Amino acid sequence: MKDGMERINQLLTEYDFPASAIQEIRVRLGDWFISGGMPTDGYVWQQVRYLENLIRYGLAERKAVIE
């Protein structure tokens, strides 16, 4: 994994998160990048941990695999 954005995209592909959580992260990261932040910054990884915590506490479900 090169940067936090790659991990966020991976998690969003694999899990269904509450819409409010996705919107919250969009706003946070949008503001971060507008102010000059980079995808490798610790703040982005903090958002990754937020998503991982939602999974850990059962607030996001793995998407069904359609074969």
Residue 36 scores a pLDDT above 70: yes
Domain assignment of residue 28, given as a range:
4-62
Given its phi and psi angles, is residue 3 left (phi above 0), alpha (psi -120 to 50 degrees) or beta?
beta
| Domains of the chain: total | 1
Residue 13: inside a domain: yes
Task: Tell me the angle at which helices 19-34 and 42-56 cross, rounded to the nearest 10 degrees.
Answer: 170
Residue 5 scores a pLDDT above 70: yes
- Across the strands, what pairs with 50? none
Residue 26: inside a domain: yes
Query: How confident is the model over 29-53, as a mean pLDDT?
Result: 95
Residue 8: inside a domain: yes
Question: What pLDDT, on a 0 to 100 scale, did the predictor assign at position 66?
Answer: 74
Residue located via tokens 């992260």? 25
Residue 29: helix, strand or coil by DSSP? helix
pTM reported for the whole predicted model: 0.88
